[in-house]
A and B are shown apart, each in its own frame.
Chain A
Amino acid sequence: SQTIHQWPATLVQPVGSPLSLECTVEGTSNPNLYWYRQAAGRGLQLLFYSVGIGQISSEVPQNLSASRPQDRQFILSSKKLLLSDSGFYLCAWGGGSQPQHFGDGTRLSIL
């Protein structure tokens, strides 16, 4: 069966520090991969998606970037975090005419 892992579960970072969140998927090949951000009490905002290694589509202009160095690895990064980068970050795989399946997210707090 397919599984998706995100880490860390929570992260507290100072403004201006770098960020790296990692997501890996097991049990499937060449999945579509997604990064979302969810503000408290709100819906999901798509940040990036990838349909293959090295292929990244950005949905909104922002302070973040994404990379896909391996088939089942998706990384969300920032060189300098802003206060507005706080939120709940979710990775997902799937898509198209199939459901997207989500990890358990990373709660990011910027101080």
Chain B
Amino acid sequence: GESVGLHLPTLSVQEGDNSIINCAYSNSASDYFIWYKQESGKGPQFIIDIRSNMDKRQGQRVTVLLNKTVKHLSLQIAATQPGDSAVYFCAERADDYKLSFGAGTTVTVRA
């Protein structure tokens, strides 16, 4: 079965508000995590990653938080925009070559 899963399959957020997308993982030995954004009809696009020696990493309007104690990963999007509407996947490194993906959360931004 999947070792990475998202808490909620859908998220509706008002434009301008902050979004938080959550992800749980089961392998306590995982050392590398990635967030992807997938727009309709396109391939997943890399957003941000984090290694297990960190608990927070920031990008442009996005922040990833890693809580290794409870094996939880989250993606925060500041000032959500209509262009942020997409499916978001978390992924963890499964071995030297492979990633394990969650099922994805669909984010819909309301105008």
- A and B interact physically: yes
B97 & A101 in contact (Cβ 8 Å cutoff): no
Contact A103 to B43, CB < 8 A, known contacts A43-B89, A97-B32:
yes
A105 & B97 in contact (Cβ 8 Å cutoff): no
The answer to whether the Cβ of B72 comes within 8 Å of any Cβ in the partner chain is no
B43 & A43 in contact (Cβ 8 Å cutoff): no
Instruction: Note all chain A residues with C-beta closer than 8 A to B34.
Output: 99-100
Q: Mark B86-102, 1 if CB is under 8 A from A, else 0.
A: 00010001001111011
Which residues B22-49 have CB closer than 8 A to chain A? 31-32, 34, 36, 41-46, 49
A104 to B44, CA, bound (A): 8
The answer to whether the Cβ of A44 comes within 8 Å of any Cβ in the partner chain is yes
B98 & A102 in contact (Cβ 8 Å cutoff): no
B: contact size bracket = 20 to 34
Closest residue to B100 on the A side, CB-wise?
A46
A: contact size bracket = 20 to 34
The answer to whether the Cβ of A69 comes within 8 Å of any Cβ in the partner chain is no
A32 to B95, CA, bound (A): 13
A43 & B103 in contact (Cβ 8 Å cutoff): yes
A76 to B60, CA, bound (A): 36
B residues in contact (CB < 8 Å) with A: 2, 31-32, 34, 36, 41-46, 49, 51, 89, 93, 96-99, 101-104
Known: A95-B99, A97-B51, A102-B36. 9 other contacts (CB 8 A): A6-B43, A32-B97, A43-B2, A43-B102, A44-B89, A96-B93, A99-B46, A100-B99, A104-B41
Closest 3 CB pairs of A and B: A102-B43, A43-B103, A99-B46
